[in-house]
């Protein structure tokens, strides 16, 4: 008879280990976000969810979530997350009881991330949408969200040019960093003051720096 308590065989790949581990932690904590994360690992083994949910990514998004609440409160009608990737930030907002949000729309130029983002946010139901779109081609003159989030400004060649596409007075949450050695980061900033100058927001409710081991992450919350 096989003992179910015996350790898994060495041949079991890391996805199976991660799936079992996250499911166990979810069962222990009762956290539904971790339950959905386990489902992502199980249903989308080719995704890069380990990168999207690593400690640096989670720390930066937890920082954004907390500072957003401190600056703006927790009630939002509609939030757009540009470069939403696998929908982790949306899931963290829905997981936070301080927030009351009607709809989060996660928009990314990569169509491959849509299904993963929906799995990550499946419990949100109709309150979450994932769609493929280019941030430069979106219709910002139609539906006007309560908040536009872009935590990847280091990937944007002309940050102010993109911000000029938004309606004046749009509330935004922006992040960038000084991780110049990453080849895909085409527009890093050396310090927070440079980010403030780059964005040139009409009003700034929060400006701060989150130090990490490899780089500093900068964040602005305000209005265009």
Q: Whose structure tokens read 């169509």?
A: 111
Q: Whose structure tokens read 């696998």?
A: 86
For range 133-160, the mean pLDDT = 92
Check pLDDT > 80 for residue 13.
no
Check pLDDT > 60 for residue 223.
yes
Domain membership of residue 217 (yes or no) is: yes
Whether residue 132 sits in one domain with residue 39: no
Whether residue 118 sits in one domain with residue 26: no
CA gap 202, 198 in Å, rounded: 12
Q: How many domains does the chain have?
A: 2
Check pLDDT > 80 for residue 81.
yes
Q: Whose structure tokens read 């938004």?
A: 166
Domain membership of residue 2 (yes or no) is: no
Say if CB 206 and CB 154 are below 8 A apart: no
Q: Is 85 left (phi over 0), alpha (psi -120 to 50) or beta?
A: left
Q: Which residues of 117-137 are buried (b: 16+ CB within 10 A; e: fewer)?
A: bbbbbbebeeebbbeebebee
Give the single-character DSSP code of 125: G
Domain that holds residue 38: 14-46
Domain membership of residue 72 (yes or no) is: yes
Domain with residue 162: its CATH number is 3.40.50.150
Say if CB 149 and CB 80 are below 8 A apart: yes
Whether residue 90 sits in one domain with residue 69: yes
Domain membership of residue 99 (yes or no) is: yes
Check pLDDT > 90 for residue 181.
no
Check pLDDT > 80 for residue 188.
yes
pLDDT confidence of residue 7: 53
pLDDT confidence of residue 15: 72
Domain membership of residue 179 (yes or no) is: yes
For range 87-94, the mean pLDDT = 97
Domain membership of residue 97 (yes or no) is: yes
Identify which has the larger pLDDT, 144 or 66: 66
Q: In the structure, what pLDDT confidence band is assigned to residue 9 with cuts at 50, 70 and 90?
A: low
pLDDT confidence of residue 1: 39
Q: Which backbone phi and psi does 50 adopt, to 5 degrees? A: -65, -35
Whether residue 112 sits in one domain with residue 41: no
Whether residue 63 sits in one domain with residue 81: yes
pLDDT confidence of residue 127: 98
Identify which has the larger pLDDT, 43 or 99: 99
Identify which has the larger pLDDT, 54 or 176: 176
Whether residue 72 sits in one domain with residue 39: no
What percent of the chain is predicted at pLDDT more than 70?
94
Whether residue 162 sits in one domain with residue 125: yes
């Amino acid at each position: 008879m096989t003992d179910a308590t015996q350790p898994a065989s060495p041949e079991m790949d890391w996805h199976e280990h991660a799936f079992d581990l996250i499911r166990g932690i979810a069962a222990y904590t009762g956290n539904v976000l971790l339950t959905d994360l386990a489902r992502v690992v199980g249903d989308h083994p080719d995704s890069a969810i380990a990168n999207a949910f690593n400690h640096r990514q989670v720390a930066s998004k937890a920082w954004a979530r907390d500072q957003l609440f401190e600056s703006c409160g927790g009630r939002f009608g509609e939030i757009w997350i540009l470069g939403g990737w696998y929908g982790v930030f949306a899931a963290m907002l829905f997981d936070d009881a301080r927030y009351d949000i009607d709809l989060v729309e996660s928009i990314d130029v990569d169509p491959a991330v849509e299904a993963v983002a929906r799995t990550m946010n499946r419990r949100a139901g109709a309150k979450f949408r994932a769609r493929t779109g280019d941030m430069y081609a979106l219709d910002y003159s139609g539906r006007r969200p309560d908040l536009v989030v872009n935590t990847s400004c280091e990937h944007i060649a002309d940050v102010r040019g993109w911000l000029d596409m938004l309606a004046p007075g749009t509330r935004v949450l922006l992040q960038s960093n000084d991780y110049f050695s990453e080849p895909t980061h085409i527009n890093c900033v050396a310090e927070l003051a440079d980010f403030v100058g780059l964005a040139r927001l009409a009003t700034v409710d929060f400006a701060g720096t989150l130090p990490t081991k490899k780089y500093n992450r900068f964040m602005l919350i305000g209005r265009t």
